[in-house]
A and B are shown apart, each in its own frame.
Chain A
Amino acid sequence: MSDLVADLLAGKHSALARVITKIENRAPGYRDIVSALHQHTGHADVVGVTGSPGAGKSTLVDKVAAAYRKQGLTVGVIAIDPSSPYSGGAVLGDRIRMASNAGDMDVFFRSMSARGSLGGLSTATTDAVTALDAFGKDKIIVETVGAGQNEVDIVRTADTVAVLVPPGSGDDVQMLKAGILEIGDVFVVNKADLDGADRTVQQLREMLQNRGDGGRSGRADSGHHGPDQTAGEATEGDLATNGAEDIDTWRPPIVETVANRGEGVEGFLDALADHGDFLDRTGRRDDQERARFAAEIRTLLREDANGLVTRELERQGGLDRLVDDVVAREIDPYTVVDEVLAPLRDCLDRET
């Protein structure tokens, strides 16, 4: 096990790949590995890219990765695709788009499937980012199809989140519905050469005006930050500019790209860099990191506490027996929970 960690830190690609496999499989010993890697992290800049299927995420990521490589930076990419709810199998096809980085081992591209486990995926993604960070990647890109809550959890692992909106994604009500506006730090209208792109940009701009600053950049932890949170500060007049007078407010830019031809990629990189500068200038990067670790600890606590409760349930005769009693109206669910947790409560009470 420690060999694997040593090999990863020494820059061995197959060790990095194997560590991510263990993380995905939650194989025995994976926790020790991730624990050992933690102290070597904190250097990578993490970008999340999300958007509807076919929006052009993989193609854009490919071009961005190539641009970073030209700057002499190393890149890690985690691309998440859905898996079949029936067989559990998946076809992970994002790799096809990585043509610009073919054969370049300093772009480490890894496909992950959702594997049906909602909570598990965000933990696995976080841990995989840890592995890439410890490996020494300068930039890490997490790419995922955006359609709901799950993606929001995943993009929380990122410092900067880019949301791709293809032209003709429906009217402004669709954008309200999709809930994508809250999570984006940078918006990209890809396939900007298609009809309707201007209109999509216009709609996005209007929607973002109404968003105020209640979005992601304002949130440190699940949307609630300290008293300096200034939701609704944005007024209709000063929206188009990132005015110097409100330097603490991030106005998500809208970038137009044609990813398959590489157009607009520079502008996108500039927007990502601007957001990075903003995070540093305002101290939000640290806030986000704290919030991220807090969320991670909470998630892990919940999972492990669940495991403990399951064991305690077994010790007390198993769930089925308790359900029998509840069905027979001999006891009610609340009392069951009180009784199952009684030993834990006793322990806590003894301490205080």
Chain B
Amino acid sequence: MSVEHEQSERTIRCLVAKVGLDGHDRGAHVIARALRDAGFEVIYSGLHRSPDEVVQAAVQEDVDVVGISILSGAHNTLVPKILDGLKQYDAFDDRLVLVGGIVPDDDKAELRTQGVDEIFGPGASMEEMIAYIREHAPER
């Protein structure tokens, strides 16, 4: 009855996660802030998270977007573990998985086939990323 006028636009929730031995989080902070200013709810994981912790956060927080920041070059090891974990908890299909950081072109195709939706490298603009999320955030 009062549901109609309570119903505003759904808030998009994003996880910004730093995995592995990678202490560079300034980029992640900047992105967290930009996403916040775009009106999203951002859950920031903090540094040095294991894939398990990222999965735990993504599942429990029921985020629409799992943003993984990796600058260490270990993406081929860490990202598949996160994808597997999400599938294990039945939390993969209705979630956007984004990777940000330094990913060589040769690795991008492989990550995509494994289930990463988009990869943002150096030079990607904030607007681009926000527009991408708005457009592709899963319908629930």
Q: Does B38 contact A (CB under 8 A)?
A: yes
Q: Is the interface on chain A under 10, 10 to 19, 20 to 34, or 35 or more residues?
A: 35 or more
Which of B53-61, B104-112, B118-126 binds A? B53-61
- Tell whether A91 pairs with B44 under 8 Å between CB atoms, given A26-B6, A28-B3, A103-B52: yes
Contact B40 A89 (CB under 8 A): yes
Q: Quick check: A307 and B37 within 8 Å, CB to CB?
A: no
Contact A87 B61 (CB under 8 A): no
Closest to B36 in A: A89
Bound-state Cα–Cα, A303 to B53, Å = 38
Write out the residue numbers on chain B whose beta carbons fall within 8 Å of the beta carbon of A73: none
A216 at the interface (CB under 8 A from B): no
A20 contacts B42, CB within 8 Å?
no
8 Å CB interface, B1-51 against A: 1-3, 5-7, 10-11, 13, 32-33, 35-46, 49-50
Query: Which of A107-115, A167-175, A277-285, A336-344 faces chain B?
Result: A107-115
B90 touches A91 (CB 8 A): no
Asked, given contacts A21-B62, A105-B56, A307-B1, whether A92 binds B42 with beta carbons under 8 Å apart, the answer is yes
Q: Given that A17-B61, A89-B41, A103-B50 are known contacts, is A310 also in contact with B90, CB under 8 Å in the complex?
A: no
CB of A193 closer than 8 Å to a CB of B: no
The distance in angstroms between the C-alpha atoms of A28 and B38, with both chains bound, is: 25
- Complex Cα spacing A258 to B6, Å: 43
Interface residues of A in 215-274 (CB under 8 A from B): none
Give Cα A14–Cα B40 distance, bound, in whole angstroms.
21
How far is it, in angstroms, between the C-alpha of A83 and the C-alpha of B11 when the chains are bound? 12
Report whether over half of chain A's contact residues are helix, strand or loop; otherwise say mixed.
mixed
Write the chain B residue with the least CB distance to A28: B3
Whether B37 contacts A89 by the Cβ 8 Å rule is yes
Q: What 0/1 pattern do residues 100 to 124 of A give for CB contact below 8 A with B?
A: 0011110011110101000000000
CB-CB under 8 A for A91 and B33, given A25-B11, A96-B45, A115-B11: yes
Residue ID in chain B nearest A25 by CB atoms: B10
Q: Is the CB of B1 within 8 A of A92?
A: no
Which residues of chain A from 71 to 113 have a CB within 8 Å of any chain B CB?
A: 83-84, 87-93, 95-96, 99, 102-105, 108-111, 113
Which residue of B is nearest A93, CB measured? Answer: B44
Q: Does A304 interact with chain B (Cβ within 8 Å)?
A: yes
Given the interface contacts A21-B62, A103-B56, does A26 sit within 8 Å of B7 by beta carbon? yes
- CB of B132 within 8 A of chain A? no
Closest Cβ of chain A: how far from B90's Cβ, in Å?
A: 5
Q: Using A14-B91, A113-B41, A307-B1 as known contacts, say yes or no to A95 and B57 having CB atoms under 8 A apart.
A: yes
Most buried by B among A21, A25, A28, A89: A89
5 sample A-B contacts, Cβ–Cβ < 8 Å, listed by A number: A90-B42, A92-B42, A113-B41, A306-B2, A307-B2
